Each structure stands twice: as C-alpha cells, then as structure tokens.
Chains A and B, each alone.
Chain A
Amino acid sequence: MITPYFVIIPLAAAFLIPLVSKRKTGPAVLLSLASTFALVVLSGYAFFGRSGETLVYRMSGWKLPVGINLVQDAFSSFMLVMVSLIALTSLVFSPRYIDRLGGDAKYYSLFMVLVAGMNGVVVTGDLFNLFVFMEIAILAALALVAYGGRAHEFEAAFKYAVMASVSASLILIGIAVAYSATSSLGLATISRGLERQSPILVLWVGGLFMAGFGLKTAAMPFHAWLPDAHSSAPAPISAMLSGVLIKALGVYVLIRFFYNVLGAPPLFLQIFLVLGAVSIILGVLLAIGQWDIKRLLAYHSISQIGYILLAMGLDTTLGMIGAVYHMLNHAVFKSLLFYNAGALETALGTRDLREMGNVSKLLPVTSGTSLIASLSISGVPPFNGFFSKLVIIIAAVQAGQPLFAFVAVVGSLLTLASFLKVQKFGLRGGRPVERLIGEVDGGMKTAMILLAALCLVTSLLIVPGIRETTIDPVVKVIMEKTGHAQIVLEK
C-alpha cells in the first residue's frame, strides 16, 4: 500500500533534517529535495498507474465504523501530484532566497511538515484526522509566514493565527454536530448516516463546514487574512500558500465534503455560485489598486479561487472539469508569479511596482517567464488559463447561468488589465534598470523555467484523448457524489 507513505516520507524528512544538518543547510536542502522528488514519483505513479482505483488503507487493520482509514482515489492522487510538483519547484527556488534571510535548516524542516499536513488532509478518510492534519499544516504555515523575521511579518502571522483558530473551532463544532448525529467520524459512514437525518441537521453541519473551510479558502467574505499573510511570507512559501495550501485545505475539502459526503445539496451550491462570483469581481478590483506586487498577487488568488468555487457550484460534469482544471492551472501560474516576485525582490530590493523599471535586458528569464504567467492568469491562448476559464464559461452558459458566465468574462478582462499594469511598471516599461543589487541564481531560474513550461504543457490537458486519462477520472470520483461512500465501504 502506498497511501501512508505520502505522510510518512515528508514527516520523516522533517524530523531527520535537524539531525543531519546543524549549521550547514546543504544536507537539509538535499534531503528535502530527495523526499519531495520521491513524493512526485510516488504520486505520479498513483495518479497515472493506479488511475480510477480507490485505495483504502486501514490503520491497524480496523474496519470503518471503528478505525481510521486513509482513502486515496483519483481526486486525492490528483491533489498529491499538484502539491508535490509545486513543493519541488518551491524547494528548487528556495536555497539562495532563504540564505538571504539568514536561513537555516529549520526552514526545510517546517517546509516538510507543511507538505506532510497537506498530504494528510488530502488522503485521509476520517473527519477528525483531517482536522489534525489541517492544524499541522497551519502551524507550519504560521511559522513560515513569520520566517523573514521582520515586525510586520510577525503581525501578519498573528492575524493569520487568530483567523485559522476561529476556522478550526468552527470546523470542530461541525465535527461535534456530525458525530452526535451519526456516531461516526469516517467520511463514508457520515455520508450514510446523514442521509437518514433531518435536512435541518444537514444544514447545520454544512453551514459550519462552509464557514470553517471557507475561511481557509479565503473566498470573499472570509478573505481578510489572506493578503497580509501571503504577501508577508518568503516568496517560495507564498507560492506554496497561494498555489496549493488554500486548495488542499480549502477547495479540496469543500468539494469532497459537499459532493461526496452531503451529495451536492442545491442550496449550498447556490451559495458557492454567489461567493465565487463576488470573489472574482471584488478580488480583482482590489488587486488592480495595489502597488506592492505580492499583495497584488495575493488579491488575485482570491479572485481565481472565485472561479473554482463558481465552477463547482454549477453541479454539472463540465463545470467540475473546469473547477479541477483551473485548480491545477492556478497552482502552476500563481506559483510562477510569486517566484517572479521573489526574483525581482532579490534583484531589485523592492516589491513596489513604482520603483521597478525595465528589467527585460538584465533579467531575461524572470521577465520572460513572468510574461508567460501573466498571459496564463489573464486567460490568453494558448496558455493553460485560457482553456480552463473557457471551460468554466461554457459550463456556466450550458447550466443556464449566463449571468455568472458574464461575471467570469468580466473578471478575466479585469485580470488582464491588472497584469498589464504589472508588466508596464514592473518589468518592461519605464526607464531601464542599470544595476542589480542581488543575483537571480540558477535554482530560481530552473524553478521559473520549469513552471513556465508547465503553463504550456498543462494546456494540453484540454485535448480529449489526454483529458480522458487525467481530468476525467477525477471528475468521475466527484460526480459519483454519495455513491463514493458505498465504494469506500465495500473495499
């Protein structure tokens, strides 16, 4: 069984790193790179080799109503591939950047704990286990947000800590209600149990989870913590937070819970539609006004998460294809954009767009990849963002929601406008920059080129033949709705 290793490998690495490297960061970098690479290989094998299968691992051999189980299906494997890929590029990007912040081995240790927490959330089939993994990931994220050691970073981390603990408490109340009603904590058994309960109870559980995981997702009314936390973190960590953390802890759990456990109740899906639409528009409007490049990107995360929520609220197969596809694409291009911001910060010593200038001569890789990423996020063909947004817009029209399709189009245009601003002030326009204060090293360049290539490669997923082996099994798992519980219980 490969499922438990997705948690064991990063957790073991996290504890080994402080042992093997006291002063030097070399062994820590190597160990963390090796374990993340192993995760990429394993998750790739799980996704492509065992696609369509549902693997259930019972801890200590106890069956479901009593024991805790890990469930790995196509959707989990898809998330694992995404998390490990972004984690790998983030680690490739890190060494030089973290050295500049006075880095030590603790960074890599915390990083691996973060990965372990996210992987745990994605593979677990037990509600309380999910809560614990979520807290592990959040605690590591808190420490990493404050890693730079400047005062406003501590302040942002504190705000994040308070918000995270409120959301964790709401989720815990939800778990208490669900447990009282069904006397079990397994997602599959809760799903069976809630079918027999009154709709008001489902409303309670759903509402509490929506608020709790909505806070983690940072959809519009719950977004206040995100711009501070994501822009204060070191660039590779911002990429992890915006790229995968809000999806593994937020969107993944929302989709899993509302589709596979509650069976897509229409009322909640309506709320997701509205939340998504509001996030798309307000997120991008707030982003346009920003001059700090990382804050601008953080507001864009809210807007792009809006697309995913809108697509998952449509309750159609095509909509779900759009949601899953956009999740992957957003992870790729948003991480790339944060790496660009990190490289610019290293080279120019500022994050303010007004103080930047034309760097296309001095930093060809950074400016080239940032152009690709900007075009991707704005939805310009042939990059990946265009295709996933197109799928979402078509799905919205087909589902009889032309208003929401219109919102998605407007959001995309506004995104383009705000990234024109980034390109004009930050990278291409203005007076040319004469000298750089820091060097963008090989690791950073490799990470950026890798993700820029992925921006093009992932747009191939729209080709029907490739889609059938990649996105379709994922969507099939989600659209089975509560039928998924049956499959898990029979295993």
Chain B
Amino acid sequence: MSGLEFFVGHYAYWFVVALLVLGLYGMIVKRNFVKKLIGMTIFQVAVIIFFISSAVKKGATIPIADKAVGTAESGLYVNPLQHTLMLTAIVVGVATAGVGYALLVTIFRRFRTLNEPELMERMRREREAAEKQGNDA
C-alpha cells in the first residue's frame, strides 16, 4: 500500500486526530474558561466519532432482522453496540459540560470575568482584602 492510499484510506482517523489536537489546543492554550470548555467538548466529540467509526461496515444494513437479508450471516448487519455505548457517553459528556457551565456561571456572577489571568488576580486581591479585614478585627 502506497503512502497516499494509506493516508486516504484512514481519513476518518486523521479527522479524529485533527479534532483531538484542536480540543487539546483549546484546553491548554486558551485563557478564557468558556473556550477551555469548548475545547473539552471538541475533545469528547472526537472520541465519540472515533468509537462510532469502528462500527462502519460497507454494504451492511441496519441491525433489525430483515427477511430479505436473513439472519444466518451476521456480517450483513451493522454492529449497533458502539452506537448505544456512545449514546451513554454523550449523556455523560453533556452532564460534565453542564456541571462545567454551571460552575462558570457562578464564577462569572461573582467576578464578572472568565479570563484566567484576570480572575486569578481578582481572587488574589480578594483574599488579601479578607486577610487585612481579619487582622483589623
């Protein structure tokens, strides 16, 4: 197999790898918490696409017993397990993202910013103010 064929033949994997890199980039480099969370979601979606891509079968039909196809040859049906697993994984992912956004909303209400360096600075200032107050009292 030539290099080009290898590259084209695995296009789904390259797409997944690109998404994974994009998600990681968002989580590590971006300074805004919402952008970090978007990066996290892209990362999760890439994994889900990777899982689903392993279920692809050329020329197979949906996994419902069909008289015209018969049940003797299971290879004529697509494996439904990956899809059901990923339904669960999507629900889990939504839950994590939901908790993440809920936390961000609370942080934003308190500090009016979601920029990481700015937030750190404000939290530090607030802590110092609290300590000063404690000393006065």
Contacts and interface: CB of A to CB of B under 8 A. Distances in A.
Interface stretch (A168-176, A267-275, A466-474): A168-176
A157 B119 CA distance: 15
B27 A176 contact: no
A165 B47 contact: no
B129 interface: no
B123 A151 contact: yes
Nearest to B82: A179
A138 B127 CA distance: 28
A443 B53 CA distance: 54
A104 interface: no
A172 B33 contact: no
A161 B50 contact: no
A98 interface: no
Contacts of A161: 96, 99-100, 103
Contacts of B32: none
A173 B47 contact: yes
B83 interface: no
A60 interface: no
Interface stretch (A70-78, A139-147, A366-374): A139-147
Contact of A155 (B37, B48, B50, B123): B123
B27 A146 contact: no
Given A135-B95, A135-B96, A154-B107, A169 B47 contact: yes
A210 to B, nearest CB: 17
Interface in A376-429: none
B96 A139 contact: yes
Interface string A125-165: 00010011001001100110010000110110110011011
A172 B99 contact: no
B134 to A, nearest CB: 8
A179 B92 contact: no
Contact of A157 (B51, B81, B103): B103
Nearest to A350: B134
Contacts of A198: none
A166 interface: yes
Interface residues of A, number: 28
B99 A143 contact: yes
A146 B102 CA distance: 11
Given A162-B40, A172-B47, A146 B103 contact: yes
Given A161-B99, A162-B36, A154 B106 contact: yes
Contacts of B11: none
A152 B51 contact: no
B50 A151 contact: no
A179 B54 contact: yes
A369 B79 CA distance: 57
B76 interface: no
B85 interface: yes
Contacts of A154: 103, 106-107, 110
B44 A169 contact: yes
Given A139-B99, A154-B107, A132 B92 contact: yes
Chain B interface size, under 10 / 10 to 19 / 20 to 34 / 35 or more: 20 to 34
Interface string B78-99: 0001100100110011011001
B51 A176 contact: yes
B128 interface: no
Contacts of B95: 135, 139
Nearest to A138: B96
Nearest to B36: A162
Nearest to A164: B96
A278 B101 CA distance: 35
Contact of A158 (B47, B107, B123): B107
A155 B107 contact: yes
A166 B27 contact: yes
B118 interface: no
Contacts of A152: 123, 127
A151 B99 contact: no
Contacts of A165: 40, 43-44, 93, 96, 100
Contact of B92 (A135, A142, A158, A173): A135
A357 B89 CA distance: 50
A180 B57 CA distance: 13
B15 interface: no
A30 to B, nearest CB: 28
B104 interface: yes
Given A132-B88, A155-B107, A180-B54, A162 B47 contact: no
Given A139-B96, A146-B103, A162-B27, A155 B119 contact: yes
A168 B40 CA distance: 11
A172 B103 contact: no
A146 B107 CA distance: 11
Interface in B114-128: 119, 123, 126-127
Interface of A: 128, 131-132, 135, 138-139, 142-143, 146, 151-152, 154-155, 157-158, 161-162, 164-166, 168-169, 172-173, 175-176, 179-180
14 contacts: A128-B85, A131-B89, A132-B88, A146-B103, A151-B107, A151-B110, A155-B107, A157-B103, A158-B100, A158-B107, A161-B100, A165-B96, A172-B89, A173-B50
Given A154-B103, A169-B46, 5 more contacts: A154-B107, A161-B100, A165-B93, A169-B47, A172-B51
What 10 pairs between A and B have smallest CB-CB spacing? A176-B51, A135-B92, A158-B103, A169-B47, A161-B100, A172-B47, A180-B54, A165-B96, A154-B103, A151-B110
